[in-house]
Structure 1
Amino acid sequence: MIKLSKRLQTIADCVTPGARAADIGSDHALLPVYLLQAGRCPSAIAGELNAGPLQAARKQIAEAGLAKAIEARQGNGLGVLQPGEADTVTIAGMGGALMADILETGRQAGKLAGVRELVLQPNVGEEIVRKWLVEHGYVLQSETLLEEDGKMYEVLHALRDEDSPEGVTNEDLYDPSFLAASLEPGQKREWLYRMGPYLLRQRAELLDSKWRHEIGKLERICKQMEQSDLAESREKQAQLRLEINAIEEVLSCLRTAKR
Structure 2
Amino acid sequence: MGKRVSLSNRLKKVASYLPENANFADIGSDHAYLAAYVCQNNPNAKAIAGEVNIGPLESAKDTINEYGLQNQIDVRLGDGLEVIRPGEIKQIVIAGMGGSLITSILNQHKEIALEVDRMVLQPNVDAKELRQWLDDHKYLLIMEEIIEEQGHIYEILVAGKDKSIKSPYNDLEKEKQLYFGPYLLQDRNDAFMKKWQIEREKLERIVKQMKQAKQIDHDKINLFTKELEWMREVLNNEKNNMETR
Q: Give the structure 1 partner of residue 192 of structure 2.
A: 207
Q: Quote the Cα distance in structure 2 between the aligned partners of 1:159 and 1:234.
A: 38
Q: Give the structure 1 partner of residue 237 of structure 2.
A: 253
Shift of 1:226: 4.9
Query: 1:196-252: CA deviations, max 9, x gaps?
Result: 010111223321111010011112223333543x24156654543332122101332
2:206 to 200, 216, 221: 221
Shift of 1:44: 0.7
Q: Is the 8 A contact 1:200 1:254 kept in 2?
A: no
Q: Is the 8 A contact 1:83 1:112 kept in 2?
A: no
Q: Quote the Cα distance in structure 2 between the aligned partners of 1:84 and 1:235.
A: 44
Q: Give the structure 2 partner of residue 169 of structure 1.
A: 166
Q: Are 2:194 and 1:242 equivalent residues in the alignment?
A: no
Q: Give the structure 2 partner of residue 83 of structure 1.
A: 86
Q: Quote the Cα distance in structure 2 between the aligned partners of 1:50 and 1:28.
A: 12
Structure 2 unmatched ranges of 5 or more: none
Query: 1:63-85: CA deviations, max 9, x gaps?
Result: 11111211100001110001111
| Count of aligned residue pairs for this structure pair | 240
Query: 1:160-209: CA deviations, max 9, x gaps?
Result: 1xx34x2x233xx1116xxxxxxxx3xx3211011101011122332111
- The 3-state SS of whatever aligns with 2:7 is coil
Structure 1 unmatched ranges of 5 or more: 177-184
Give the TM-score, by structure 2 length.
0.90
Q: Is the 8 A contact 2:81 2:112 kept in 1?
A: yes
Q: Quote the Cα distance in structure 2 between the aligned partners of 1:47 and 1:92.
A: 12
Shift of 1:57: 0.2
Q: Are 2:9 and 1:6 equivalent residues in the alignment?
A: yes
Q: Quote the Cα distance in structure 2 between the aligned partners of 1:41 and 1:218.
A: 47
1:29-68 map, 5 Å: 29-39=32-42, 41-68=44-71
Q: Quote the Cα distance in structure 2 between the aligned partners of 1:28 and 1:189.
A: 37
Q: Quote the Cα distance in structure 2 between the aligned partners of 1:62 and 1:104.
A: 32
Q: Quote the Cα distance in structure 1 between the aligned partners of 2:155 and 2:114.
A: 26
CA RMSD after TM alignment:
2.0
Identity %: 40
- What code does the residue aligned with 1:159 have? G
- The 3-state SS of whatever aligns with 1:232 is coil
- The 3-state SS of whatever aligns with 1:134 is helix
1:16-27 map, 5 Å: 16-27=19-30
Give the TM-score, by structure 1 length.
0.85
Query: 1:22-57: CA deviations, max 9, x gaps?
Result: 101112000000001111752110000011000000
